[in-house]
Amino acid sequence: MRLLPPLLAALSLAGCATAPSDALRGTGDLGVVIERAAGRVQIVEHSGDTRLATVDGLGDLSHAHVTFSRDGRFAYVFGRDGGLTKVDLLARRIDKRVIQAGNSIGGSISQDGRLVVAQNYEPGGIKAFDADTLELLAEVPAEYAPGRFSKVVGLADVPGQRFAYALFDASEIWVTDFSDPRKPTTTRYPAGKQPYDGLVTPDGRYFLAGLFGEDGISLLDLWKPETGAQKILAGYGRGEEKLPVFKMPHLRGWSLAAGQAWLPAIGRHEVLVADARSWQESGRIPVKGQPVFVMARPDGRQVWVNFAFPDNEWVQVIDTVERRVIHTFSPGKAVLHMEFTPRGEEVWLSARDSNRVSVVDTTRFAVRKELPADAPSGIFFTSRAQRIGF
Amino acid sequence: MYRPLLIHVAVLLGLTALAVGTAQSAEPAPARQRELIHLVRQDCGSCHGMRLAGGLGPALSPARLADWPDDSLVATILHGRPGTAMPGWQRFMNEAEAGWIVARLKQGFPPLD
């Protein structure tokens, strides 16, 4: 009996070490910062701009992507090594983890929140998992010709339990319907050469695949898929020799602002602007380097741009009404990613080689806070859980 | 009395220094090596993966590179490969540095600090 009190004390201490101190809280202001070299994520919150916890053991996070459960409690982290880790943001620990492929690039969650779908380079294809248990439900190999598999890019959830994605090696867009999760059906659409990434517009209607192998964007109207993919912004390079691309741009549904789509040019130091009704080019904005992320503030009044190596210390802000760069600054060395708070009053920027995340006021461009992080890359807030295509 | 021996030692030391000097001039200085390791792991890693296990670009493991001649790998690094997403990196390194990277890749590339 005498042993019991110390034992209880030890147990309760052990409990304290893992359990969050503020046990009852919401999830709407939570997020995840990837520490890519360490295979670790930070759990952060943007009401007070603080780090809440770190979670280790997520494997190779050199190209990590995150999607969230619809209740904002779980982050599904896709690692380069094919690891899929379900992180509990409230308990601040790994809930489940599977190695689902040899080489993965990201993933997305279904309209009903029950399926998590991973997109893979090796073996090329997509896989659907039960969002609760991570049990494998179905697999769609990207076999575009007998024995030939493509790397899959640009996976985006679209309404109707469907996922749209592009095949880099096959120059096609595929749409897979998981209405029957164990028996998916896939429709193929020829697209432009070497799609490198894709996005779906916030209403879930248009899937756009950026092309590396030619100047232009492939666009599929998911409300009229029978018309097939058409090419927009064709020949934007005007036949001029491309500048080298030292990092591939990334597309996602943040590209629409002020009735226009704002897209990175490939091999040109420009942001392309297209009317989001007619899809005709309506302008282009010269910028400091090869754009990687061209990201609209949630209200659409600003578009923020970061750049590929060797211009990756810079960030530029475009005013979408004036259609010009209104601010240029460097939040640190090797700026890899940006994430806006849900209503856009601040943006978080990761500077890999400065080992920090900067929180910047989007009105005055003042640095509100700097948070230390070990070679941070992606920053993902739970507000993505409520958006189509994230 | 000791002079012949001293000369002998001096000549040997000189030869050794020369040999070491030659070997080192083929290699980038240590600080530059660290920069190149950082470049390969972080920036080449955008496509090839930070662990060089592949991504949009192929894996850069010793097994996969073993059959490729060094000079063709050096040319790929410096000038890129047309028709693929591989750009040329000659703005950021010279031929000797690209050769050093190729040799290290074939041995198993050093980790970040």
CATH number at residue B93: 1.10.760.10
> Is residue B15 a part of any domain in this protein?
no
Cα–Cα nearest to A245, from B75, B72, B88, B57: B88
- The pLDDT value recorded for residue B22 is 41
Q: Which residues of B touch A60 (CB under 8 A)?
A: 49-51, 53
Q: Which phi and psi (to 5°) does residue A45 adopt?
A: -135, 145
> Is residue B76 a part of any domain in this protein?
yes
DSSP-H helix ranges across chain A? 4-18
Number of domains in chain B: 1
- The pLDDT value recorded for residue A102 is 86
**A275-329 confidence digits (pLDDT tens):** 999 999 999 999 999 999 999 999 999 999 999 999 999 999 999 999 999 999 9
- Answer yes or no: are the C-beta atoms of A87 and A62 closer than 8 Å: no
Residue of A99, A104, A167, A246 to mutate, interface with B, max B Cβ within 10 Å: A246
> Is residue B82 a part of any domain in this protein?
yes
> Is residue B10 a part of any domain in this protein?
no
- The pLDDT value recorded for residue B2 is 52
ipTM of the complex: 0.87
> Is residue B35 a part of any domain in this protein?
yes
Whether residue B56 and residue A248 make contact (CB cut-off 8 A), yes or no, is yes
Sign of CA dihedral A91, A92, A97, A101: positive
B59: nearest CA partner in chain A: A103
Angstrom CA distances, A66 to A158, A220, A316, stand at 17, 25, 25
Angstrom CA distances, A72 to A86, A152, A176, stand at 12, 26, 25
Q: Give me the residue from A81, A246, A248 closest to B43, CB to CB.
A: A246
Q: Give me the residue from B42, B47, B49 closest to A352, CB to CB.
A: B42
A122: nearest CA partner in chain B: B55
> Is residue B73 a part of any domain in this protein?
yes
- Give CA–CA dist A313/A290, Å, rounded: 12
> Is residue B59 a part of any domain in this protein?
yes
Whether residue A103 and residue B56 make contact (CB cut-off 8 A), yes or no, is no
Whether residue B45 and residue A62 make contact (CB cut-off 8 A), yes or no, is yes
Specify the DSSP element, H or E, that contains A351: strand A346-351
**A221-250 confidence digits (pLDDT tens):** 999 999 999 999 999 988 888 999 999 999
> Is residue B84 a part of any domain in this protein?
yes
Peptide bond into A123 cis (omega under 30): yes
Structural domain range at position B86? 29-107
**A92-146 confidence digits (pLDDT tens):** 999 999 999 888 889 999 999 999 999 999 899 999 999 999 999 999 999 999 9
B residues 44-103 lying closer than 8 A (beta carbon) to A = 45-47, 49-51, 53-56, 80, 85, 87-89, 91-92
pTM: 0.90
Residue of B42, B51, B76 to mutate, interface with A, max A Cβ within 10 Å: B42
Residue A294's contacts (CB-CB under 8 Å, 6 or more residues apart) are A249, A255, A262, A263, A264, A271, A303, A304, A305
For residue A90, the SS3 value is coil
CA distance B78 to chain A (A): 12
Whether A20 shows a pLDDT value over 80: the answer reads no
- Answer yes or no: are the C-beta atoms of A130 and A186 closer than 8 Å: no
- Give CA–CA dist A95/A79, Å, rounded: 16
DSSP-H helix ranges across A287-365? none
A266: nearest CA partner in chain B: B85
Partners of residue A296 on adjacent β-strands: A303
